[in-house]
Structure 1
């Protein structure tokens, strides 16, 4: 029975729960060590996996599908892309900032954004097709009414009477927040969010959904502690301080993850992550 349940973010469609566990468990164990807390047993951590929901099914060999390009983004995806571009330009001098002309809602402006982000440190090495695929995963979870229940069901299956801490990375922080808001009866005592897009207005915050008398910004369920970690260069964590939207009880920390600002394992192996998890155990 896992004491810690982890929820991954986008871009995991070719992974799996066991591979994630193999990377996340030692990283969090190192974070606990940095904090001076006892080690975490492998069986104490479970990774919720939902990336397969975004993996296209196999098919009979035929003509290859054309790669996605700027014309394949819908209005939501294009708007999210422009927000990421603006944040990348703020944190990376190699990225030219958008202006009124390049922010116009047209395929050419979307292509400008894709070209700019391809030159950024944050998206270095990520092909345009992969970036578009990631944007489509965010839209699918937040906008497709068939996807969210499937993901939420997997989280609900993972939480047990022994679970005290839920960790959400990237889009997984949105999934985790909504799950806790929907289940105040769960025994979870602490939420740890890493590289979270929860604070992005209009595109994420206003689209949050949960059961019951829920409204975006509500405290997530019956937890006692919420810690949010963000790297200054993490473009996905566009809003670093969640307190204006979710209240003063959110404990926020800026950490330094080096060149891989959004990497989940680099968040997990920090003393701040170890402190948050250990504090969740102490609330038992």
Structure 2
């Protein structure tokens, strides 16, 4: 039975639960008696294009999307990248979604970003295609209710009665949050979010399930995630995906929010897992400390 459940983020369509466990286990092994005590709620395969029988009709998987949601998310990343990297020209004030060729313009600007160069360092020639694929994954989870249910079902099938810690990276933090909210009967003590975009209003926060509610002052406030006692959110100052570093304004003062330095790979899940803050949060969740 898994004491810790891990939930990955975008860009994992060419991995599986086994490869994820191999990557996440080393930073967490010191806390666990055996590999069976870490389970990975893997959903990346839901974004992988199916194979095609040779000789069958080709399937059009589409090119660069001009959907408003993807364009606005891309613009937010562009704005975030330009704020931390002088090599990235800032976006214009006009709305990207309504600018002809706006997506291509943003992709060209982001090709100069150290953050995105590190994220796609293995395949720089495929930068545009992979970045657009990641945008599409985010859009599909946030806007496609059927896919959302499939992804959440993966988490629900992985969390067990003895699971005490849920660790989630990037988009996975939203997946895990919604699963925890839907299952207050779970006995999860600690929720650790790494490089999370969950506090970004309009694109993520305002679209959560359950939706935010108004507090006593009329300010939108996210629901507390189920049975969780301690929520630790960790973000690198240069992480363009985690644009809202401090979650206290959106989820209340009980969220412990930390800024860390992951070096050149600001959004990397392993860099996050090896921080002292993440290690301490996992340890406290397992010991009840």
Question: Under a length normalisation based on structure 1, what TM-score does the superposition of the two structures give?
Answer: 0.91
Write out aligned runs for 1:160-199 (5 A).
Answer: 160-199=160-199
- Taking the aligned partners of 1:66 and 1:58, their CA distance within structure 2 comes to 12
Residue 279 of structure 1 corresponds to 284
Write out aligned runs for 1:1-284 (5 A).
Answer: 1-29=1-29, 38=31, 41-61=34-54, 68-69=63-64, 72-101=65-94, 103=96, 105-124=98-117, 125=121, 126=124, 127-210=127-210, 217-283=222-288
CA RMSD after TM alignment? 2.1
Alpha-carbon distance, 1:41 to partner? 2.9
SS in 2 for 1:76: helix
8 Å CA contact 1:167–1:192 kept in 2: the answer is yes
Q: Which runs of 5+ in 1 are unaligned?
A: 33-37
SS in 1 for 2:245: coil
Q: Deviations over 1:210-251 (max 9, x none)?
A: 49x999601110110000000011100011001100000000
SS in 2 for 1:176: helix
SS in 2 for 1:107: coil
Q: Which runs of 5+ in 2 are unaligned?
A: 215-219
8 Å CA contact 1:28–1:265 kept in 2: the answer is no
Question: Under a length normalisation based on structure 2, what TM-score does the superposition of the two structures give?
Answer: 0.89
SS in 1 for 2:5: strand
Q: Deviations over 1:7-53 (max 9, x none)?
A: 00000001000000000010234xx6xxxxx5553221111110010
SS in 1 for 2:188: coil
Q: 1:104 to 1:152 in 2, by over 3 A?
A: closer
Alpha-carbon distance, 1:283 to partner? 2.0
- Taking the aligned partners of 2:100 and 2:204, their CA distance within structure 1 comes to 22
Q: Which moved more, 1:133-142 or 1:98-107?
A: 98-107
Q: Deviations over 1:77-129 (max 9, x none)?
A: 00100001000000111111112247462232222111111110111145101
- Taking the aligned partners of 1:24 and 1:119, their CA distance within structure 2 comes to 30
8 Å CA contact 2:72–2:97 kept in 1: the answer is no
SS in 2 for 1:147: helix
8 Å CA contact 2:71–2:97 kept in 1: the answer is no
* Higher relative contact order structure (alpha carbons within 8 Å, sequence separation ≥ 6): 1
SS in 2 for 1:13: coil
Alpha-carbon distance, 1:67 to partner? 7.2
SS in 2 for 1:227: strand
Q: 1:49 to 1:104 in 2, by over 3 A?
A: closer
Q: Deviations over 1:186-205 (max 9, x none)?
A: 01011000000001110111
Q: Which moved more, 1:4-13 or 1:102-111?
A: 102-111
